[in-house]
Structures are given as C-alpha cells and as structure tokens.
Chain A
Amino acid sequence: MQSGIPLRDHFRETRMFNIRVIVTLAISLLLILLIIVRLVYLQIIDHELYTTLSEENRFFISAIPPTRGLIYDRNDVLLAQNLPTFNLELIPERIENIDNTIAALGEIIEITVADIKRFKEQMGQYNRFKSIPLRTRLSDEEVARIAVNRYRFPGVDIAARLIRHYPHGELTSHTIGYVGRINDKETQRINKSNYEGTNYIGKTGIEKYYEDILHGHVGVQQVETNAQGRSLRTFEQVPAESGINLHLSLDIEMQKIAQEAMGEESGSIVAIDPNTGNVLVFVSTPAFDPNLFVAGIDHATYKAYRDHPQNPLFNRTLRGQYPPGSTIKPFWGLAGLEFGVATNEIKTFCRGWFSLPGHKHRYRDWKKTGHGKMDLHDAIVQSCDVYFYDLALTLGIDRMAKFMAPFGFNSPTGIDITGELGGLMPTPRWKQKQRKQPWYLGETLIAGIGQGYVLTTPLQLASATATLSKSGQRMLPRVVTKLENTNTAEITELAPIFQTPVTLSDPEYWLKMIDAMKDVTHHWRGTAYRIGKKSKYKIAGKTGTAQVFSVKQNEEYDEDKIAKTLRDHALFIAFAPVEEPQIAISIIVEHGGHGGSTAAPIAKKIMDYYLLPKLEKEEATAVKQSAS
C-alpha cells in the first residue's frame, strides 16, 4: 500500500469519498422519488383509467340467447324442439388475421365458400367482440379435431348451441313453418338487443306469427377471460327468459292420416271444430322438410323444391285461391232463402243447359240430360247447375256479394298463421275498378256455380262451412289454444274467439240447408252418397268440381283426353255429426276430377278418425247409464 512518491493524503481522500457517497445517495433518493412520483401518477391519479382498462381486459359482456318456445300438438306431442348442436365460432377481435385463421381451420375441417361468405356478412353487421359462427352442426369428429388444435387458434371456440328441429318434418311444414337465419331485412325490423346471440328467427307459419313470444328475452352475462381469450368464469347478470311454449289444436295423428290420404296429389285439407274455431287438420300437399331450411338449405335442394311442378313450397291451404265450384251452392241457397227467392216450393226445370234470354250461349249443366224439375233441396243434393244459374240471375251479383261478406269470403279469416290470403267475391264495382271492364250478366251465372271470378281459399271454405254448421255462429279459426310460460310455470288457455255471427231472418233457413246437405251424403241421389251410405253418424256435405280450363261450346270435357294439369279440381266441404257438429272440413284435390269420388272419401277418413272414438265412448256411457 505504501508507495513512496507521491504521498497519500488519507484525510482528504476520506473526505472526498464521503462527499461522493452523499452525492450518490442524494441522486439515488431523487431516482427513488422519481419512481414514487411515477407510481402516484399511475396508481392514484390515473387509477380509474387503468382499472377500466384492466376490467376491459378481463371481462366482456355476452348475451345469453333465450331458448325458443316449444310447440306441441293437442295431445302434447312435440312438434318443434331445440336440439343441441356444436358450432365453430370466432371472435374477430381476438384474431390477428381472420383469413389465415379460416384457411388454417379449413385444413382441419371442411369450410365451404358459402360458410365464409356468411361469416363475413355477419362480421360486418355485428361488432368485432362478438362470437360469430363459421360452421354450424359440427360432427363429433369435427369437434374433436378442433378441440385438439384449439391451442393454435386464439379467439376460436366451439360453442354448444340449440338448433330448431321439427320431428314430424313434412307433416308440419305448412302449419308451423320454420325458422331460419336472420337476414338483412329482419335485422332492420327486430329489436337487435333482444336478438343478441340469436341467429334464427321465425320465417313462416306459426313460427313467424308467434315470433315475439316464441323467442323469449335475451339474458346478459359477464364473461371473465384470460389473456388467450378463453372463458374462465361467467357471472350471470340478467338470466335469459325462455320463449313461451305453444300448444296447438292440431292433432298430428289426424294430420298424418289426412296427408297420407292425399297420396301423391296436390291439394289442401282443413278441418275445424265449429264450436271453438280450433283447427284440427291443416294440410297442404305436397309438403317439404322444414329442417332443411333451418341450417340453411343448399342451392340444389332448394332449386329442386322451387322447380317441382307441384310446387311443394306453396301453402295451398293458406294462400291457394281456387274457384269453389259447387261447394259454394249451399251459401247461394241460403241467400235465396234469405231474399225469399228460393223456397222448396219454387221449382226450376233443368233441361241440361241454361241460356240468358236473347242469347244463344248455353250454360251447361254437369248432367247433359238435365235433372228435370228441381227445388232448392234437390238442387243441392244433386248439385243442379241450372237451378243455380237461375237463382243467381234472380239474386243479382250485388245481393250475392253482400250476402257472402259476413261469412268472411272476401277477406282473410285471421288465422294465427302468417301469410294468409283472402278470397274474392266479385262485384261490378270491383271489376270496373280492377279490370276497367263492365260486368256481364253471364258472369253472374257462372258465379252461381262458383266459377268465374269467385275465388276462395280452402281455409275460408272450411271456416264458412263451420259457420253454416252452427247456424251462423262464427268462430275465428286458430291453431294455438294454450300458452305455457316455462319461466313462471303459468299456463294460459286461450278462450275461443267469437266473431260477428251471420244472422238470417228465419233460423229455419239454416236447418233447411243443413238438411239438404245431409241428403248429399245420405240420399241415394246425393253426389256424395258413397261416404254417407254406411256412415255411423250423419254427415252434411257438398261436393264441388272446379274448372281449371274452360271447355269450348262445341267441345266435350273428356277427363282421359286432357292433360292432368288441366283437369278439374275436386272439392268437398262437410261437417258432422249433423245434429251436433264437431268437425267441419274443406278439401281440395287439385286436378282430382269429381269431388264426390276423390275428395269426399278423404273427408270421411278424417271424420271417422275424429268422431268414431268419441261416439263409441258416448255409446259406452249410454249403455252404462241404461244398465244402472
């Protein structure tokens, strides 16, 4: 340590060292102070900002989509349910490069161009923080493949969702309708916040009509996520409220019998309980599989449906406007009675044709040889056209239209299925306005046999038949009879809705007409005698044949010679039992030929199914009572 030159000044060195230590300490204290100031700034002044940021990191709000209400038939058979399914969903905000991610996912499972297109569309319309499905209905294998690779894809997740399913498929397609993905138009209409997390909405039928109550109310949850975007915990804030379960008046077994009875034919069957307006059967054939539309139908299948000659997508019962043919005659007959121009005493001679005074044109009767002397009763039973040409001429088109309005022939019935169309009871005013043409007397004549401009839907016909069966008491046709709120376990029975009844000056008129209709099926001359002959209960009915194509004056209508698509429609309306009506039916078989031979037997099958067990039960109790 000791080196000769130069000498150390220990005192000076120590003093210098101590000063430097103190300077260093002072600087260090300043630096610590700097850290403290920084911390005050971060932890106290900007604390709230950083708390918010930390919460944003941690939580995101997500919607709990409500469970859609179920639909049951009258015997509590499930008609529309929600099946669990796995979706592949992406949260765009957590994905760095969406296209790359989708491409990489496409190597693991199949992702179609349509899937990507739909995903992009949805991503555009929602914000980036929401989980958007890329693929729906993943198979078990696909789920497994994604699960194994999930670590590679932050922001990609498999979501268990519910998908609508209709176990009875074609049987309910025209009644219940179906749900489908929400489209742009619907997005405008719906309350977006209530549809957060929901991808489906009722598109047709009951699903659409009752959309508001079927959908339910969306819930809200806070999801805690880690830095990789995986959900860790959820804090439910507002629970979702399931949609209301609907109980229908429909009997799916009867629906099946009706649909099968139609076979390959296109047409429509409606059965209504006249006492309540409850729709028992609602068939339009051919039908389609509604389940195909739920997940999004592929183009080829859709094209096949669309281009099918029988047009299965068309709801004939609700929207089909057909000339009612002779099935309208009982109503004209009632008009004749009401206006005093038709009684059983006033007879018309039928020689097989009718012409207007001063005109050569012959309006033909379906029976070339003529029916002879006809009163109202016989004219109904034998469906004499000449009688009704004459009656129509006497009544005049304005009185006819006025009489029909209270039956609801000119407007939709108001059934609780979306998409209904009304029919048409023409008047000269209507023709002038719509067609800019004057009314011709000949048009009044053919209106008398339910041809020409007269158009009705099968539903209108069934409803009017029910009204007739109850002597004017009109019930609103409806399919939903009971609402079941699963959130409160509350069941609401919907009372039948009475509409303004049809009143005639003498109630006897109803009975006269019902009696005539009874003979249509029970008198040997009746056009539907084949179904009434052996029936255990009394049926009142009326057959009808509606022309699709007009036969020229000098031509004969030969069923075998003309194309099937030009053949007449077969119609039949009926109710039973006559004394105490419980079911009213209207049937149309397109290009089915004659109502009596084609349509009436179908009606009988349905009535048998519905009435026979009831009658047996009544008999059994009657036997019991008499025994005791």
Chain B
Amino acid sequence: MSLLDINVNEFGERRQSLAESLHIDLPLLVGLLALAMISLFILYSASGQDMTVIWRQTIRLVIAFTIMLVLAQIKSNTLKRWTPWLYAIGVILLIAVLVVGQVGKGAQRWLDLGLFQFQPSEVMKLAVPLMVAWYLSEYPLPPDRKRLLMTIMVIAIPFILIVKQPDLGTSLLVAGAGFFALFFAGLQWRLLGLMTAIFAASAPLAWYLMHDYQRQRVLTFLNPEQDPLGTGYHIIQSKIAIGSGGLYGKGWQNGTQSQLNFLPERSTDFIFAAYAEEFGFIGILVLLAIYLFILIRGLLIAMQAQDTFTRLLAGSLTMTFFIYVFVNMGMVTGLLPVVGLPLPLMSYGGTSVVTLMSGFGILMSIHTHRKLLPR
C-alpha cells in the first residue's frame, strides 16, 4: 500500500488525511488536474485566444470534477444495488431516443428533458460495465456458457440500440466497456480468439450495413490523398500539423496550422494535433506520460480492489478511458479511421467528459472505501 493513501504516525496508528476523509485518490486527482491544466492552455491557443471558450471549459471541468467527487463518496455496495436499475433505465431511455429523440447532425442521439438535453448513450458507457460486473460477480469466475451468453445479451442490447441512432463510435465504446469487464472476468482465450474471428468475418456484413458517411470515413482512412479537399482534408492537415511540429514544436500560440484555420476541429477532436504542432514530440511525450500514469494507477486500483464487482468495474472503466486516448491519438495521427472520439480531458466540450469523470469518481470510491486490513 502506498504511503500516499495512509499516514502512519510514530506509534503505528493510522491517521486519516484530508484526501482520505474526502475519499479522494490523490495520484489520480493530480494526473487528471494536470491534464485539465494542459487542456486549458492548448485550448486558449487553439481557440484563437477566445476567453469565452476557456471559461466554458473551466465551468465544464469544475462540474465534471464535482460529479467525480460526489461519486467518490458513494460506496461500491450502494452502486451495486443501483446497477440493474441504472441499466434498465438506460435501455428504456435509448428506446425513447429512437422514438422521440432530437435529431442533430443527422443522428438521433439527444433526449430533450425540457431543462437540458441529454444523451442516454453516455449513461450506457457506465451502465454496461456496471451491469456486466454486477452480473458476473454473482457467480464464480470464469463464467460458464450460460452466463457468457447472458453477458453478451447485456452488451448487445444497448449496442444495437446505439448503432441504430446511428452512433457507431459510442456503440463500439459501450460494447468495449462491457467486453473489458468480460475479459477481466476470465473469458477463455479460446473464446476470445473465436470472437475476434467472428468479428473479422463480419466486416463485409458491417460494410454492407454501414451508412454512406461511415463507408466514406473508412475509404478516407485507407487513402486520405484520394480526396485532399474533401473527406481526406482533416487527416492530411492533421498530419501536417503534427509533422511540422517536429521535436520541440512551434511554440505556444505559434502553430500555423491551427492558428490559421488549416487544422479543422482543432479545439475538439483534433486538439492532439494542435498540441503536437505547438509543443512538439517532447510535449507529446509529457502528455503520453500523464495518460500512462493514469492508466497504470487505474489498473493498480483494479488490482487492489477487494471484490469481484469492483475489480471488474475498475478494470473496465480504466480501459474505456484508455480506448478513448488510443483511438483519438490513432485517428489524429492517421493510424485509425476518423471516428469522432474526443481526447479525454483535452478536447473542448462534449458530454463525454462528465461520463469519464464519473468513471474516475467510481474508481476513487472503489479505492477509498476498501475495508482496511490490519498491517
């Protein structure tokens, strides 16, 4: 156990620190705050020194951190009791979205609740791993065939509903979150291989089911130069921004690609490119180190968790966060197709930051509500 968690006085007595009494995991908080600070810095530059953008992002971050702190106070057992209800409500809301949802940017994702608009698919990013962890933790691991099928059902229902909106990115993330819980629960390697094979084999079917814009994205990913002014423009300009940043970068507020509007979506999905242009390879290594630190801390929390539910949940939430990071960086650097995922805590706006921070709140709760064993 880390010394950061527990203070031991000279008599060997444990004394509760402020962080401990607030159920805060300090390493995680430090990492997340560092990201938030960097985010504000690069946003100031990428938005063209727009202070309104900075204030809005600050308010959003404050709300997200507050939600995180609130969730950190809730014991995992309480959370566990809520899980089936949360999942059920989530599925009902998803169905509601398909029936009465708001259409925005060609997809039905929003639910107008009068006071504010709400994206039920975001809830599922938490509800699905919670549900999978809840379901699997009731029985010995690894799950048998019956439980496995049930788990797949639990994942598939929201997945299909979100695909129908259509929102392939989020649906894959939701499925991914569920899958990681299943994987940590001990899914047989054999079955894993089989699922991968099925997944690969279903690619032509997926192509057939895809919307035109989704197919275009895949085509663009395979050959961005094919249409440099159209769909390939994003990725070409992004690569130019990153590449021209070089080892040390062009300096804060000196990135010509982002400052002169060549880089599209430079404060949202492509903020990584704007950062890479201005701070260079060195800056990127610092950023990657912070993300890696958060990843390792999250996995450590999972390993130190005391029961199956929290263990699976912590592992799954941490990996969801990492998927965000990897997919965004992969897409911005041209390794993956453009799928429209933000870079956690860096990109401007999005409901996703609230969901992600809720996840970290749960992680903190898991870690700080452990039954402490005598030394």
Contact = CB atoms under 8 A, between A and B. Distances in A.
Nearest to A46: B243
Contact of A43 (B184, B247, B334): B247
A225 interface: yes
Nearest to B183: A20
A24 B315 contact: yes
A412 B333 CA distance: 73
Interface string B133-160: 0000111111000000000000000000
A54 B238 CA distance: 10
Contacts of B140: 6-9, 13
Contact of A51 (B246, B299, B326, B330): B246
Given A21-B184, A38-B333, A53-B240, A227 B256 contact: no
Interface stretch (A29-37, A324-332, A508-516): A29-37
Nearest to B326: A31
A7 B139 CA distance: 9
- Of A17, A31, A49, most buried by chain B (CB within 10 Å of CB) is A17
Contacts of B322: 28
Given A21-B184, A24-B315, A42-B333, A51 B288 contact: no
B240 A28 contact: no
A627 interface: no
B281 A21 contact: no
Contact of B256 (A25, A54, A228): A54
Nearest to A56: B240
Contact of B281 (A39, A96, A228): A39
Contact of B142 (A7, A16, A226, A227): A16
Contact of A39 (B229, B242, B260): B242
Contacts of A3: 138-139
B308 interface: yes
Interface string B206-246: 00000000000000000000000100000001011111111
Contacts of A8: 140-141
Contact of B243 (A16, A18, A35, A51): A51
B361 to A, nearest CB: 21
Interface string A1-15: 101001111000100
B260 A226 contact: yes
Contacts of A32: 288, 291-292, 326
A50 interface: yes
Interface in B257-313: 257, 260-262, 276, 280-281, 284-285, 288, 291-292, 295-296, 299, 302-303, 307-308, 311
A227 B261 contact: yes
B329 interface: yes
A57 interface: yes
A43 B243 contact: yes
A38 B284 CA distance: 12
Given A21-B302, A39-B281, A42-B333, A47 B246 contact: yes
Interface class of chain A by DSSP: helix
B27 interface: no
A40 interface: yes
A96 B229 contact: yes
Given A44-B281, A224-B260, A13 B141 contact: yes
Nearest to A42: B243
Nearest to A40: B281
B308 A43 contact: no
A58 interface: yes
Contact of A1 (B180, B261, B307): B307
A192 B240 CA distance: 33
A38 B331 CA distance: 11
A128 to B, nearest CB: 14
B264 to A, nearest CB: 8
- Return the 5 tightest CB-CB contacts between A and B, nearest first: A50-B243, A54-B244, A227-B261, A226-B260, A42-B243
Given A17-B315, A55-B256, A226-B261, 10 more contacts: A3-B138, A21-B299, A21-B302, A24-B183, A43-B243, A51-B246, A53-B244, A54-B257, A96-B229, A227-B261
19 contacts: A3-B138, A16-B186, A17-B184, A17-B303, A36-B285, A38-B335, A39-B276, A43-B247, A44-B246, A44-B281, A54-B241, A57-B237, A57-B256, A57-B257, A57-B260, A96-B229, A225-B260, A226-B262, A227-B261
Interface of A: 1, 3, 6-9, 13, 16-18, 20-21, 24-25, 28-29, 31-32, 34-36, 38-40, 42-44, 46-47, 49-51, 53-55, 57-58, 96, 224-228, 232
Interface of B: 137-142, 180, 183-184, 186, 229, 237, 239-247, 256-257, 260-262, 276, 280-281, 284-285, 288, 291-292, 295-296, 299, 302-303, 307-308, 311, 315, 319, 322, 326, 329-330, 333-335
